[in-house]
Amino acid sequence: MSNETEDQLRDEIIEMKKEMKKCNKTKIALKKSEERFKTVAESATDGIVTTDDNGNILFFNKILKTLFGYSTEELSGKSLTMLMPDKFRKGYLNELENYKISGKHTLLGKTVQTIGLRKDGTTFSFEMSLSAWKSNKTTYFSAIIRDITKRKQAESEIKKSLIEKENLLKEIHYRVKNNMQIISSLINIQIKHVHEKESVHVLNETQGRIDAMAIVHKNLYESSEFTNLNFKDYTEKLVAEILSSQQLNSGTIKTELDIEDIEMNMETAILCGLIINELITNSIKYAFPDQKGTIKITLKSYSNELELIIADNGIGLPKNIYLKINETIGLQLIYSLVNQLNGKLKLDMSNGTEFKITFKELEYEERL
């Protein structure tokens, strides 16, 4: 062997030793990394499982064994389908085949809820996060599995409690509406036995106010929500009720409604309804001596305020009227209702009578 050949062989041996040393270091690093991963996985509070691209189980932690009730020997190398109810197995295997062809998997990077099958045949709900990774051109899948049985039970109890409370609220609104209708009927009976015009007038007005509040509870009872109602729908029913109670000839006094589609809480709606009831009733009785005219009701939202306008094109109020000290009970009530709304009232008598009320929706007081 020549010196040149001997030198080349020596250099190759040195390089080989270097490569072997690198490989050994890589193996050691990989082993340490694997040990760290296992330590973390075993200390996790969720189940962890890794499979190959055929769905065969390669790794799992002790929590996964506890969740599904299997031993290490029973899980190692087995198909992941053993942990699924029958109805999910075909879809799972189809996903793996589709991933091999297209590189796409519908569950990757997502957290989904599904059903697991225990060794004893029972099922349970769990939440799963799936990820994919490659090593030496081989794809592996890792899933983190969290038992959500207790959470599902808690959610079920909350839903049950909500349904019970909704039914209770529905029953309350129903009973309040019925009680108000009973009171209204009793007043109606009383009216038949009263002969003084002023007394009949007062009883009729009281009956109208009760009916205005009863319609609120009727709407809430019939709606899917029990704290808010559609004010447009409420106003339409209220106005129809008022006109019906006044026994007007058809088409004599017209009403125009321009109401935004606004959801309003019960407390605010009742106050607005009472205001509308008082002002429409007053317009019908005093604004149109010949029973001909138009009443317009408008509700608009501006920024964080609402604007309610009730106007008529009748003969108007006396020029010397002063709302705060007027002796008319209806007008005193309107002023009181506006105060309860924390609103502002502006009266315009330049063309008929217009009441403009600006206010914010009331916030519910804290309930025990």
Give the pLDDT of residue 56: 93
Same domain, 115 and 161: no
pTM of the model: 0.55
Same domain, 62 and 169: no
Specify if 252 maps to a domain: yes
Specify if 366 maps to a domain: no
Identify the residue whose tokens are 């109602």: 229
**pLDDT grade for 217, boundaries at 50, 70 and 90:** confident
Mean pLDDT of the chain: 80
Share of the chain above pLDDT 70, in %: 81
349 pLDDT more than 50 = yes
Same domain, 276 and 175: yes
313 pLDDT more than 50 = yes
Read off the CATH number of the domain in which 320 is found.
Answer: 3.30.565.10
Give the pLDDT of residue 86: 93
Contact status, residue 239 vs residue 255, Cβ threshold 8 Å? yes
Specify if 367 maps to a domain: no
Specify if 368 maps to a domain: no
Specify if 253 maps to a domain: yes
Same domain, 38 and 70: no
Give the separation between CA 133 and CA 228, rounded to whole angstroms: 51
Read off the CATH number of the domain in which 130 is found.
Answer: 3.30.450.20
Same domain, 179 and 303: yes
242 pLDDT more than 50 = yes
- Show Cβ contacts of residue 348 under 8 Å, excluding neighbours closer than 6 positions: 311, 354, 356
Same domain, 14 and 143: no
Give the separation between CA 90 and CA 281, rounded to whole angstroms: 71
Same domain, 223 and 318: yes
Comparison of pLDDT for 119 and 209, the residue scoring more: 119
Helix (H), strand (E), coil (C) string for the chain: CCHHHHHHHHHHHHHHHHHHHHHHHHHHHHHHHHHHHHHHHHHCCCEEEEEECCCEEEEECHHHHHHHCCCHHHHCCCEHHHHCCHHHHHHHHHHHHHHHHHCCCCCECCEEEEEEECCCCCEEEEEEEEEEEEECCEEEEEEEEEECHHHHHHHHHHHHHHHHHHHHHHHHHHHHHHHHHHHHHHHHHHHHCCCCHHHHHHHHHHHHHHHHHHHHHHHHHHCCCCCEEEHHHHHHHHHHHHHHHCCCCCCCEEEEEEECCCEEEHHHHHHHHHHHHHHHHHHHHHHCCCCCEEEEEEEEEECCEEEEEEEECCCCCCCCCCCCCCCCHHHHHHHHHHHHCCCEEEEECCCCEEEEEEECCCCCCCCC
Strands 253-259 and 111-117: unpaired
Same domain, 53 and 35: no
Specify if 286 maps to a domain: yes
Q: Which among 73, 67, 63 is positioned nearest to 41, based on CA atoms?
A: 63
Same domain, 168 and 290: yes
Same domain, 132 and 30: no
Give the separation between CA 68 and CA 127, rounded to whole angstroms: 14
Last residue of a domain, one of 125, 147, 169: 147
Domain enclosing residue 12, as ranges = 1-43
Last residue of a domain, one of 131, 147, 163: 147
Share of the chain above pLDDT 90, in %: 23
Q: Which of 10-24, 69-83, 257-271 has the highest mean pLDDT?
A: 69-83
207 pLDDT more than 80 = no
Q: Which of 135-149, 158-172, 242-256 has the highest mean pLDDT?
A: 135-149
Specify if 128 maps to a domain: yes
Give the separation between CA 333 and CA 275, rounded to whole angstroms: 8
Same domain, 203 and 88: no
Give the pLDDT of residue 368: 41
Specify if 364 maps to a domain: no
Q: Which among 24, 25, 48 is positioned nearest to 140, based on CA atoms?
A: 48
367 pLDDT more than 60 = no
**CA angle (44, 104, 34) in 5-degree steps:** 30
Give the separation between CA 330 and CA 277, rounded to whole angstroms: 10
**pLDDT grade for 89, boundaries at 50, 70 and 90:** very high
Give the pLDDT of residue 13: 46
Structural domain count of the chain = 3
**CA angle (298, 304, 308) in 5-degree steps:** 20
Same domain, 131 and 228: no
Last residue of a domain, one of 147, 172, 195: 147
Q: Average pLDDT of 145-160?
A: 89
